[in-house]
Amino acid sequence: MKYLKCFQEKKVFTSNYVVQLVGCENTAKSILYDYKKNNYIDSVHRGLYVALDLVTGNPIANRYEIGSAINEDAYISFHSALEYYGLSNQVFNAVKVSTKQRFNAFEYDYVSYERTNINIQSGIITPLRTPLVRVTDVERTIVDCFHDIDRAGGLDELMEALHLVFSVDEQKLFSYLSEYNQIFLWQKIGYIMSLLKDKIGISNDFLSLCKSKIHDKKQYLVWNTELKYEPDWKLYVPRNMDSLIFDGEIVNV
């Protein structure tokens, strides 16, 4: 029980942390074995452990804390970031973890943890309310999700999420879009923000800036049998896209 308080304060930790804590690898292995045997801790994945609630036996770290602890540069992204912020319509049994270091997808406590590639380097924060979580900020999450709509749960799910966003920082959006440096992404974000501009306070200057970044190549927001063309954005979109926002409610495409 000597190290129980340390483990519970840490919530989720690596075997290397225990080695540093006790100063000996063999002692660390023995402690991990004994504490796991007595249901004080549990093995999450190779070299990763979580402290258990002594009453319920459940992990005291949540899915976002576990995902953020997979390695030193891991952070929560895409639909999982939407979930973290309470913006998602659905909660999936999979956590999207972005990291430079490869790891094989694994499952713990009925939740799977899946690696996604790091696309850009900025916009990763540690919120004050959850100091063990690393997650993309709201603006970075929006940009990431439009970069890969499938990882956002699809267009309907993403639009549901945006309906719950009341304001965004245009400078952050611009910064992340510039870092991606992809014309198609400027098209997608510009078009969607043009639909939401009154709701979340997007300026005409920002929309003009997005338009200045695109060229004459026509793109498809999503593949759909019922499409219409938006000439301002050189973009084919679902025919009833405008009805996604109607009297403050989201209507499915």
> What is the pLDDT, as a whole number, of residue 85?
97
Residues 72 and 47 in one domain: no
Residues 111 and 226 in one domain: yes
Q: Where are the alpha helices (DSSP H) in the chain?
A: 4-10, 15-22, 25-37, 63-68, 78-84, 138-147, 155-163, 170-180, 183-200, 204-212
Residues 95 and 32 in one domain: no
Residues 32 and 146 in one domain: no
Quote the number of domains for the chain: 2
Residues 86 and 187 in one domain: yes
CB burial of residue 131 (10 Å; 0-12, 13-18, 19+): exposed
Residues 127 and 45 in one domain: no
Residues 72 and 165 in one domain: yes
Separation between Cα atoms, residue 213 and residue 219, nearest integer Å: 14
Note the pTM of the prediction, 2 decimals: 0.92
| Residues of the domain holding 39 | 4-51
Residues 46 and 80 in one domain: no
Residues 33 and 155 in one domain: no
Residues 240 and 168 in one domain: yes
Separation between Cα atoms, residue 178 and residue 119, nearest integer Å: 12
Q: Classify residue 161: in a domain, yes or no.
A: yes
> What is the pLDDT, as a whole number, of residue 101?
92
pLDDT tens digit at each of 253 positions of the chain: 789 999 999 999 999 999 999 999 999 999 999 999 999 999 999 999 999 999 999 999 999 999 999 999 999 999 999 999 999 988 999 999 999 999 999 999 999 999 998 889 999 999 999 999 999 999 999 999 999 999 999 998 999 899 899 999 999 999 999 999 999 999 999 999 999 998 899 999 999 999 999 988 999 999 877 899 999 999 999 987 877 664 444 444 3
> What is the pLDDT, as a whole number, of residue 245?
60
Packing angle of the helix pair 138-147, 155-163 (nearest 10 deg) = 160
